[in-house]
Amino acid sequence: MIEPMTAAAEASRQDNVEKILDSAERLFKHYGYTKTNVADIARDLSMSPANIYRFFSSKSDIHQALAKRMLSLQYEMLQMNSVRQVSSSERLKDHVLLQHRMTVETMMDEEKVHEMVVIAMDQQWPVIEEHISKVRVLVERIIAEGIAAGEFREQNTRLAAEWFMNSGVCLCHPQLITKTLASDEVLTPEQLVDYSLRALK
Q: What is the CATH number of the domain that holds 30?
A: 1.10.10.60
34 and 124 co-located in one domain = no
165 and 130 co-located in one domain = yes
Residue 90 or residue 182, greater confidence: 90
38 and 105 co-located in one domain = no
Percent helix, strand, coil in the chain, to 5, is 75, 0, 25
74 and 97 co-located in one domain = yes
85 and 98 co-located in one domain = yes
3 and 29 co-located in one domain = yes
Beta-strand (E) ranges in 61-184? none
Buried b (16+ CB within 10 A) or exposed e, 30-54: eeebeebebebbbebbebeeeebee
Q: Please tell me whether residue 40 adopts helix, strand or coil conformation.
A: helix
Provide the percentage of residues in the chain whose pLDDT is more than 90: 51
What's the CATH number where 127 sits?
1.10.357.10
Residue 57: pLDDT over 90? yes
**Total number of domains constituting the chain:** 2
148 and 70 co-located in one domain = yes
DSSP state of 187: S
DSSP of 103-129, one letter per residue? HIIIIISSHHHHHHHHHHHHTT-HHHH
77 and 8 co-located in one domain = no
Q: Which range among 46-55, 98-107, 120-129, 167-176 has the greatest average pLDDT?
A: 46-55
Range of the domain at 45: 1-56
